[in-house]
Amino acid sequence: MKPTVGYLQVIWQILRKEVLIEWRGRQGVPVMLVFALMIVFLFNFALQLSPDLQAGLAAGLLWVSLAFASTLGLNRSINLERENNALDGLLMAPVDRSAIFFGKALGNFIFTFLVGLFLLPIFSLFYSQNMLQLPLLLVLLLGLGAYTSLGTLLSALSIQARTRDILLPVLLYPLALPVLIAAVEASQGVLSGQTLGAVSHWIYLLLAGFLIFTASGLLFFETILEE
Amino acid sequence: MPIETNTPARWIEINDLIKRFHYQPVLNKLELAIHDGECCLLVGDNGAGKTTLLRIIAGLTRPSQGQVTICGEFAAGDPQLRRRIGYVGHQPMFYQDLTATENLNHYARLYQVNNAQAAVVDALDRAGLTQHQHQPVRTLSRGMQQRLSLVRATLHNPVILLLDEPYTGLDQEAAKAFDATLQYLHKPGRVVLIAAHRPQRLLKITSHIAWLRNGVIYQHIPADQIHATPDLQHYLQEVT
């Protein structure tokens, strides 16, 4: 009898499957991107603000568009597992089920981060700010890491509910609010020229959110998925 | 997979099993033991709890109470034990955008099958699906997907095979091929448990019949003793 498949190997296998499905279907990232771009364009033309005000608004709009777009990706990701009960196939495998959580959360993170990377230059263009800064990338990494970890866990929770498409945002947005506030504050600080040290309290809050939500996935993912 | 010399004769043992959904017991203090080499047909009305029982044995559903022992070990929460089980459910459990080969490779890697790619090619060949191996699963017929499901469930050579209504969606020819596959799979060193609502064609293949009724196994007998149990015989005549 072989030992349990290596933990990292399982994460890699799940991630590889997520990327392959996205590559084949191209139904996740493009839809998220179109949705996020719509928010960018609509707010830019609707508000007609002065460059100073636009800069202040950029951080908030960036996170609103990423949070909403990410929810579309999270729904898509868990619906893939629901279709044909593919999730049962994963749960039957002789692997630690928390590795499935990490694989899926990593996939969701990568897709949302890609959308974020694409949005940054567009925000720079429309909102008169240099968004291509390393400190902002760090905020994006931590904020999206925390948000997609929580989202992956909650999408697993909602998978067996009849109202799953409504349940995910209803659960996700209130619980993610502290992380989103911290991300907006840290981004605004960075964009207004503050150093990372000056916004370190927000960065620590993001880090704490990331650790708490990831640990929750590690602890509760298996229990949530068993009927 | 090599069978350990101390493997117990009772490969599936269920004691005092209760499963409630919304406080209603579907399985109520169910007892069942299935021995090495047994090919057991599980019959019962719709909603009797056949699928629930199979899902509990497969580790997909948590029992409300009671114990399930697989090859002498408690089934609860042991990932390693799942390697011994293959399960074909109502749905094929495939990713529709991936090809047959990609889906099987995915499972073969998760189960750490030796020479995964060669094993997949070989299994597809045996199932007669080689010419469809590069097609996305969504383009395959229901019958082909069902055959592919059986390939997925047996790819890691499990010693316990659980099949839930495996003939659903199969045409006459595919059903015959499925009969032959079942006969091939039914051998010492493996147990097969098949849940079926209309079990007529399976009566010739299976070695035992278990009748799930009112949440318990009401009868569990060798198939050749069916004439000695008139109520089971009558039930089977009714459902077929």
Q: What is the pLDDT of residue B200?
A: 82
Please count the structural domains in chain B: 2
- E strands of B36-178, at which residues? 39-43, 65-70, 73-74, 85-88, 160-164
Residue B152 to residue A10, Cβ atoms within 8 A: no
Q: Whole-prediction pTM value?
A: 0.89
For chain A, percent of residues with pLDDT exceeding 70? 96
pLDDT of residue B77: 67
Domain range holding B63?
8-84+161-240
pLDDT at A125 exceeding the cut of 80 = yes
pLDDT of residue A19: 96
Domain for residue A126, yes or no?
yes
For B103, nearest residue in chain A (alpha carbons): A17
- What pLDDT is recorded for position A5? 53
CA distance B188 to chain A (A): 19
In a domain, residue A188? The reply is yes
Tell me which residue in B62, B91, B102 faces A227 most closely, judged by beta carbons.
Answer: B62
| pLDDT, tens only, A189-217 | 998 888 889 999 999 999 999 999 999 99
Residues of A in contact with B80 (CB under 8 A): 1, 3-4, 94
Residue numbers in A near B111 (CB within 8 A): 5, 93-94
Instruction: Kindly state whether residues B75 and B21 are assigned to the same domain.
Output: yes
* Cα nearest neighbour of B93 on chain A: A86
Q: What is the mean pLDDT of residues A95-108?
A: 95
Q: Is A2 domain-assigned?
A: no
pLDDT at A1: 41
Q: What ipTM does this complex have?
A: 0.87
Measured torsion, CA atoms of residues A13, A19, A25, A29, in degrees rounded to the nearest 10: 150
Residues B100 and B126 in one domain: yes
CA-based end-to-end distance of chain A: 28
Confirm whether B183 is domain-assigned: yes
Query: What average pLDDT does the segment A117-130 reach?
Result: 89
Please name the residue that has the structure tokens 């929810």. Answer: A71
Whether A1 is covered by a domain: the verdict is no
Is A84 close to B62, i.e. CB distance below 8 A? no
Give first-to-last CA distance, chain B, whole Å. 37
Contact yes or no for A227 and B110 at CB 8 A: no
Of B157, B175, B190, the last residue of a domain is B157
Residue A62 within a domain: yes
Contact between B79 and A25 using a beta-carbon 8 Å cutoff: no
Q: Let me know if residue B108 belongs to a domain.
A: yes
Does a structural domain hold residue A205?
Answer: yes
Please give the mean pLDDT across all residues of chain A: 90
Distance in Å, alpha carbon of A94 to nearest chain B alpha carbon: 5
B145 and B170 part of one domain: no
- Where residue B89 falls (left for φ over 0; alpha for ψ -120 to 50; beta otherwise) is beta
What is the CATH number for B183?
3.40.50.300
Do B145 and B216 belong together in one domain?
A: no
Q: Which of B4, B80, B82 sits opposite A92 (nearest CB)?
A: B82
Can you tell me which residue has the tokens 């990331």? A210
Shortest Cα distance from B42 to chain A (angstroms)?
Answer: 21
For residues A155-162, average pLDDT? 83
DSSP string, B56-88: HHHTSS--SEEEEEETTEE-TT-HHHHTTEEEE
Q: Is the pLDDT of residue A160 over 80?
A: no
Boundaries of domain holding A60: 7-225
Regarding whether B128 and B183 lie in a shared domain, the answer is no
For residues B38 and B136, state if they share a domain: no
d(C-alpha A94, C-alpha A73), whole Å: 27
Chain B residue numbers with beta carbons less than 8 Å from the beta carbon of A86 are 93-95
Mean pLDDT of A113-134: 90
Query: Domain end: B112, B137, B157, which one?
Result: B157
Nearest-CA distance from A30 to chain B in Å? 16
What is the pLDDT averaged over residues A58-82?
92
- Label each residue of chain A as H, E or C: CCCCCCHHHHHHHHHHHHHHHHHHHCCCHHHHHHHHHHHHHHHHHHHCCCHHHHHHHHHHHHHHHHHHHHHHHHHHHHHHHHHHHHHHHHHHCCCCHHHHHHHHHHHHHHHHHHHHHHHHHHHHHHHCCCCCCHHHHHHHHHHHHHHHHHHHHHHHHHCCCCCHHHHHHHHHHHHHHHHHHHHHHHHHHHHCCCCCHHHHHHHHHHHHHHHHHHHHHHHHHHHHHCC
> Which residues of chain B have a pLDDT value below 50?
1-5, 7-8
> Is residue A120, in this structure, part of any structural domain at all?
yes
- Evaluate whether residue B64 is within a structural domain: yes
Say whether both B53 and B171 belong to one domain: yes
Which residues on chain B place their C-beta less than 8 Å from a C-beta of chain A?
Answer: 1, 4, 55, 58-62, 79-83, 85, 87, 89-98, 102, 106-107, 109-112, 136, 152
Number of domains in chain A: 1
